[in-house]
Amino acid sequence: MSSFGVAFKDAITPIYRPMYNRLRSSLMIDRNMDPRTTLFVSTGGRTGGTWVSQLVNFDGAFRLMFEPISRERLLVTPGLARTLPDNRLQYIRPDSTDGELVRRVEAVITGRYRQPLTDQYNYTPRIVFNKRLVKETKSNLWAKWVHERFPRMPIMLLLRHPVPAVMSRYFKYFDLPVDQRASVDDPARRQSEYETLTLGQPELLADHLGPLRSVIESARSVFAQRMVVWCIQNYVPLHQFAPGQIHVAFYEDFCLNPVGEMRKLRAYLGEDLSDHEVARIERRSTKPSSTFHRTAVHQFQEVAAIRGYEQIAKWLKRIQPQERSEAAELLQAFGLDAIYSADDPKPNPNGATALMRANAPAPAAH
């Protein structure tokens, strides 16, 4: 597309797109509302979740529902809204039976929920769907609760290495020279908000974070505090689910072997991956996600041909020695160094399985 065409499209999109999204969302039909036909993708912010979800939905068979619960704060009660700065770490105990929260989640996973932004990334003329893919970025600490309420709904927990995820979440900060990073904001205010976010929920503290309180409080830099948030987001579900209850996947593995990861996901869903789908998956894996900013597309195109190791390892050239040290210490403190290292971009899936194995029910006594 010419520069004029790009400029024209950018000018008219804010005008027509909201109306188009509202119309499409209102016209969509979900023919099968069984939760078993919904794939729930639970992950954190800036983990490649949109790219992976669109890769999974390469053929447009799913109605892709983009962060309906987190973005619209459907589970944020008035009491929680008063105490937490945001809902990144919202925790719901697995045994909670709050009927209103259950009804709100059920409306989403059965497809009854309608919201224009939720349906904005369904790039297909199709309006009738038999299954849904719900992608969420602030759901890891209540994914087990959803599983307990809807145990037959498939869930994929998607992880990405914390260092590039953290850098992407606050990219302007990490683009500054190292000696300027400390003066970005008010350290005292930031520390207060951080401790409210991480330690402000008594149930979360009692169930999971109590033994880690001193580690959490000791994080002072922006990098360390955001590392702690990443650790909490993944520590909790990995200490709740047992192997086989959900499908654990890694952004890096999708980058390195998209077809292989799709085969694993299909196996979890009880389906096969046909030969004619392989080429379509490979083509889709070279495209950016819908949340990838236009100004960065040229950069993506440069690395598309080498989307493998080089793509997942770019952060190794940016991380500072102090940040590497903080990352290693925090991963070890949370026991997540079994999965990720501060020196290696590739995950160790066996480490996640080992953590989850401790959650398996004890064998019944005879």
Band the pLDDT of 227: cuts 50, 70, 90: very high
Opening angle at CA 218, ends 86 and 335, nearest 5: 85
Is the confidence at residue 325, as pLDDT, over 90?
yes
Q: Give me the percent of the chain exceeding a pLDDT of 90.
A: 76
Distance of alpha carbon 364 from alpha carbon 358, whole angstroms: 16
Q: What is the mean pLDDT of the chain?
A: 91
10, burial (CB in 10 Å: exposed 0-12, middle 13-18, buried 19+)? exposed
Q: What is the pLDDT of residue 366?
A: 61
Distance of alpha carbon 267 from alpha carbon 282, whole angstroms: 18
Q: Is the distance from CB of 250 to CB of 158 less than 8 angstroms?
A: yes
Place of tokens 């589970």: 75
Q: Which has more pLDDT, 356 or 177?
A: 356
Mean pLDDT of the region 98-126: 96
**Domains of the chain as residue ranges with CATH:** 3-179+227-357 (3.40.50.300)
pLDDT in tens, 13-42: 778 888 989 999 999 999 999 999 999 999
Distance of alpha carbon 325 from alpha carbon 57, whole angstroms: 38
Distance of alpha carbon 98 from alpha carbon 95, whole angstroms: 9
* 3-class DSSP state of 347: coil
Is the confidence at residue 296, as pLDDT, over 60?
no
Q: What is the pLDDT of residue 16?
A: 80
- Residue whose C-alpha is closest to residue 139's, from 228, 220, 279, 42: 42
Q: Count other Cβ atoms within 10 Å, centred on residue 316.
A: 14
Is the confidence at residue 183, as pLDDT, over 80?
no
Q: What is the pLDDT of residue 91?
A: 97
Distance of alpha carbon 179 from alpha carbon 78, whole angstroms: 40
Q: Which helix (H) or strand (E) holds 247?
A: strand 247-250
Mean pLDDT of the region 219-237: 96
Is the confidence at residue 171, as pLDDT, over 60?
yes
Is the confidence at residue 130, as pLDDT, over 50?
yes
Is the confidence at residue 2, as pLDDT, over 80?
no
Mean pLDDT of the region 43-60: 96
Band the pLDDT of 198: cuts 50, 70, 90: very high
Band the pLDDT of 300: cuts 50, 70, 90: very low
Distance of alpha carbon 143 from alpha carbon 223, whole angstroms: 26
285, burial (CB in 10 Å: exposed 0-12, middle 13-18, buried 19+)? buried
